[in-house]
Amino acid sequence: MSEVRQITKDNAYDAVAPDDFPSMMDVDRYGARSTAFDKIISATHDHFWDPLDTKYIDFSEGFDIENEMILPEELVLELTLPSFQALTQKQRVRFANESARWILSAILHGEQGALNLSASLCHILRDPGAQEYAANQTREEARHVTAFAKYVQARWGKPLPVGQTLGDLLTDIVGAPEVYKKIVGMQMLVEGLAMGAFAMLYSTARDPLLVKLTQLVMTDEAFHHKFGKIWADRTIPKLSKEEQEIIEDWAASCFQTLLFNLVNPEQKKILYGEFGLDWQQVQNEMIEAISDEKRREDMKQSTNIFRVLIKTLLKAGIITERTKAFYAVYVDMDELKGEGDRMVGDDIAEDGIRFLQKINFGANVDALRNVTISAAE
């Protein structure tokens, strides 16, 4: 990996080239296991669930998708635009649910990216503990792919194609040879977006099946976020000024791309033609409707995906005084700093873990050690 700039400050994140399997058979490697991930590895059984077992979730539960909106109308910004005022109520419901389909499809593609990325970490991480954690996460991401695929199938039949912005980001970080890009890109950027999205869906979705699904997924994702935090705690304080700026600038660039393009009408243009709408007209109306002031107002909500993402980067030490002003355009950075380390969704995930413990261990649940998200941290 001589051409690749690895930024490794802790042996737990030491990496080899993806095709360097002989290094995995180094006899000294097997005995050099980090204990950094043991708690989140051993907690895996506490949040086990099976998307194919109806005692956890039943995808046959119905929902009147023709007459009821899966998400509240106020969350579908397009319905406030001039182009949409001629739609009938039936069309408005259909568009709102097609928008929900687009969101859930994007989440499904993101889970597929997380699965592939976790598997790719198994090929390059030398530390047996880090490798075992990555293998565990791979298995958990695989069940997320199954679960969201089944939900989309139950409500719409098939998912929509991935938007170019998300698709390009996922392709970049899955294929990146640098460990820091994989961990910052997936465990912080994408997982940060996901936790915000799941918390929003859990608190606002009108489909009980979707509410249940998001909580089950969050029981896993909260631990995945911890893996990224362990990396940050062991890496960020040891960075040189140059290394800090490399990681900081890459994260800021990704954030900016996501902020201005993730929900851009061009990404969703596949939807508009079905309703006789021109995506460029929708985009022009959207530009008028969404000002920086509107973004700032939206980011005051604790479940706003970009607020959660900024907080994730800030708490990891990836936002410093050098780049603080860039993010401060949208959120009160001092307010974020004072919120503490708990993330949106932690309480939801902990309630979900208690639900899973009762299913998995029944009467023996009280005898179990009380594994919580904070204990795993």
- Is residue 371 in some structural domain? yes
Quote the number of domains for the chain: 1
Q: What is the mean pLDDT of each run of 10 residues along the chain (377 residues)?
A: 68 88 94 91 90 96 96 93 95 97 95 94 93 95 98 97 91 90 87 87 96 95 84 90 92 86 85 93 90 81 84 90 90 86 83 91 56 45
Cα separation of 229 and 279, whole Å?
A: 39
Residues in the chain: 377
What the block records as the tokens of 306 is: 């970009």
Query: What local confidence, expressed as pLDDT, does residue 366 receive?
Result: 53
Judge whether 22 lies within some domain: no
Residue 7 lies in a domain: no
> Does residue 320 fall inside a structural domain?
yes
Does residue 183 lie in a domain region?
A: yes
C-beta separation of 98 from 69 below 8 A:
no
Angle, to 10 degrees, between the axis of helix 89-124 and the axis of helix 191-204? 150
In a domain, 26, yes or no: no
Q: Two tokens at 238?
A: 């040891």
Structural domain boundaries enclosing 158: 38-376
Q: Is 30 exposed, middle or buried (0-12, 13-18, 19+ CB in 10 A)?
A: exposed
Within the chain, where are the H helices? 38-42, 89-124, 128-155, 164-175, 179-182, 191-204, 208-235, 241-261, 269-272, 279-289, 292-298, 305-315, 321-328, 333-337, 346-361, 373-376
- CATH code of the domain in which 101 resides: 1.10.620.20
Residue 5 forms part of a structural domain:
no
Instruction: Give the single-character DSSP code of 53.
Output: -
Asked if 40 contacts 376 with a C-beta cutoff of 8 angstroms, the reply is yes
The pLDDT, as a whole number, for residue 262 is 77
16 falls within a domain: no
